[in-house]
Structure 1
């Protein structure tokens, strides 16, 4: 089996893949910009977070399933099915007239998005040799960086001059072009014998991960961690994941071949990816709040401190493509781990006096670390597994980043809330003043007395300092994992 058929027009296919990757990548940032307008039209502010969470949930639970299906039936049909589902969801999202319907349609969109990133990355792994692949994966990483930067700007333009529905409908022409390019110009040889699909494994995985992510989204915010809902879903997760592992050991064609977890390179890459996903969410969730609420800068400045991460990531990802060829995978991974260590260390010393430039530089260094590690990991993984396992191995690594993001949001958010609560209790203050959202509204912030403003700002600064200390601890773990990365040279792989 091979995706390197001579008839494949690689440049045209790559353009189609980049367009497809772009529409999936830009969804998060462009929707965030439009949400105030969407809420004003549809209402349902209490369901605000589920517009994002529903998309993330479906993307997480389907990524692994699509990866396995692409190994069984080929990349092309699964990619096309995923894009079609994504585009149907996009059309429906633009037509939604209630928040409930928008969330349902975002679920459909997320089910389609689960196929796009892993299979685009896998097709690149099929089409290109390892030396070429290292560079091309860097280009794909650039798509995510670029979308993170232009997403908010494009979303603002669409909302101001057209209608928020077009943030979803703009996906249609780009998605169709991407589908046509892959359908016409990508050719692969696939074993046509009858395939065995692990329906039970896929179902158990779907149930387990859905339960886990719902807990991460709801617990600590809507439910307490000891509530009946939280404990019931955690129980469901442990039962489903235990039966899933038991079943995968026994079935002939498992959805997730468990021998992947016996490969040291894959295990270390996936664990480091999980931790780096936690770091990214720690920054993107809390840094803008700190810059706006404590440093008292505008949302634009807050966005700048975070966008530097999106600039550093693709630059480093492209450089990583050259480094793995010149110096090897392990040194490149260690360089990335070092950058993550330095970047998270700098955040430990963040204070209002250092200003947004310091925060922006620290974010940029974290982005460098993300770019160096993510490209190195994915190319190394694809180089150590055969064609028939490349899809599921690639998807597993991307799944670990999604889970890392979900865990990071819940874990670090829980630490922040706990530290804020203790801060005000220790000072015998009413915890109702712990509403840090008031700091983000300049008009409301100016109405606070100087003493109360200082109290809340100091509370947020102190609490976030603890969050950044924990984040630095995660950075240390990630760095240690890169030191354990096994030696693998480009020359050792064809």
Structure 2
């Protein structure tokens, strides 16, 4: 496929990016519209499952389809992915209950995982590693654009139309992308036949799903040492051991373990794990700071977060162009990780007096660093393996990032909750000790306020206590201020944790990532000889 004429390659890439934009917009548009959807359908207790089910199904299909696309080619799976995602989107729009919506979001996830996996792999089919950088950068920027426009558009739709249109508005994108890829994307016939590793696929699924669920639920629905979380970890360990034993025996493993003997492949995936943890873990909690600590409205907080995404788009595009032009990536990866860690360190020093401008500048640093780094480790992994492993190697990058993101969000959530509880308890007790005539009722009300969600809806909370005596209202306002300071203190710990995680990725890159010349052809096996050394 790399020998196709450039014009046809560009048209195929536009079609692939349309498919990716279709999937990415449908992911990002849901966040701002979900409160209105929940208000209509009910089922607030299942709120998080609308996101969790998509993460689970997309993660599983991404890694499984990676191997299958190496056997049967990318075209069938990107077409199936678009088809399944389109059906899932259509069904989401006709949901009559929250459980139906969760089921249909799971279907969306199956399609989304196929699209994401095969889209990035298809870049490797069309271009050799040396030319791949700029296209990987442009592909990464598609996610950034979806992150900018998706939430804003989702809010506009639910304000002016029925929420069903959140899922239906981009269906034409999917149909156009399907038609273009069907007509233009070449079909690849494999000469040798390979058996499908059904047992390994099942064991890999049983390994990954409980692992993702355990880190998603730990510290939220269940305690870290609860029987449910320990049980999930136990299932993961047993399934993983059986998976390793199976993969060593089968002829065509779903995840060839020999790839991990390649140091560039292994270290790139480990760095990707840390990058995912730092990226998702820190960025997920920034809106808490902007709205809860700084008191910025939800609408304005979107504008404060937007520079991060725009900086990421610019960074990934420029980074890809530089890699393609120079053929070098290690120093650029280190620069991106350093900028990102610097931004997170600056976030650590924010407090209740921080302005929107300061927060925006920090967001630009994090976004630029993330954009510079993000495309590189997909490229290093693809460059390190033979072309016949392109699909499964690209999927492994996505899986490790997803695992890192899930683990990072969970651990940093525990850091925030524990630090917040300790700091709030200590300072509220001091307030009680220094305030005369504190009634047991007032002390009990403090416990109800020890939740960061309170700061995101302060007016409603204060209205609830408006019938209390004036001195009680003053006291509760003081408690709210303590909560604000406690949340700031807790999030400082979250951002510092993120900075340390990214700093670790930077050290791994400096000491262990080998600079290998980017191959100039997908068929060149000679250029692979030194990469596993």
Counterpart in 1 of 2:435?
A: none
Counterpart in 2 of 1:481?
A: 508
Counterpart in 2 of 1:465?
A: 492
CA distance in 1, matches of 2:371, 2:513: 16
Matches within 5 A, 1:133-212: 133-212=132-211
Give 1:241 deviation, angstroms: 1.1
Counterpart in 2 of 1:450?
A: 477
CA distance in 1, matches of 2:73, 2:520: 26
Counterpart in 2 of 1:239?
A: 238
CA distance in 2, matches of 1:268, 1:359: 32
Counterpart in 2 of 1:438?
A: 454
Counterpart in 1 of 2:402?
A: 402
- In structure 2, the CA distance between the partners of 1:83 and 1:8, relative to structure 1 (3 Å rule), is farther
CA distance in 1, matches of 2:282, 2:72: 39
- In structure 2, the CA distance between the partners of 1:425 and 1:441, relative to structure 1 (3 Å rule), is closer
Give 1:341 deviation, angstroms: 2.0
- In structure 2, the CA distance between the partners of 1:431 and 1:285, relative to structure 1 (3 Å rule), is farther
Give 1:431 deviation, angstroms: 4.0
Matches within 5 A, 1:220-259: 220-259=219-258
Preserved CA contact (<8 Å) 1:3 1:188? no
Q: Secondary structure in 2 aligned to 1:26?
A: helix
Counterpart in 1 of 2:39?
A: 40
Matches within 5 A, 1:108-127: 108-127=107-126
TM-score, scaled to structure 1: 0.95
CA distance in 1, matches of 2:121, 2:24: 16
Counterpart in 2 of 1:27?
A: 26
1:33-78 deviations in Å (ceiling 9; x for gaps): 1111111110001101100111011111221001111001100011
Provide structure 1 residue ranges, at least 5 long, that are not aligned to the other structure: none
CA distance in 1, matches of 2:234, 2:488: 36
- In structure 2, the CA distance between the partners of 1:331 and 1:188, relative to structure 1 (3 Å rule), is farther
- In structure 2, the CA distance between the partners of 1:161 and 1:258, relative to structure 1 (3 Å rule), is same
Q: Secondary structure in 2 aligned to 1:136?
A: helix
CA distance in 1, matches of 2:249, 2:358: 53
Quick check: 36-45 or 268-277, which moved more?
Answer: 268-277
Give 1:442 deviation, angstroms: 4.0
Provide structure 2 residue ranges, at least 5 long, that are not aligned to the other structure: 430-445, 464-472, 525-533
Q: Secondary structure in 2 aligned to 1:163?
A: coil
CA distance in 1, matches of 2:294, 2:5: 57
1:309-340 deviations in Å (ceiling 9; x for gaps): 21111211111112223261111111112112
Give 1:372 deviation, angstroms: 1.6
Q: Secondary structure in 2 aligned to 1:296?
A: coil
Q: Secondary structure in 2 aligned to 1:9?
A: helix
- In structure 2, the CA distance between the partners of 1:398 and 1:384, relative to structure 1 (3 Å rule), is same
Q: Which has the larger radius of gyration?
A: 2
Give 1:395 deviation, angstroms: 0.8
Q: Secondary structure in 2 aligned to 1:490?
A: coil
Preserved CA contact (<8 Å) 1:149 1:310? yes
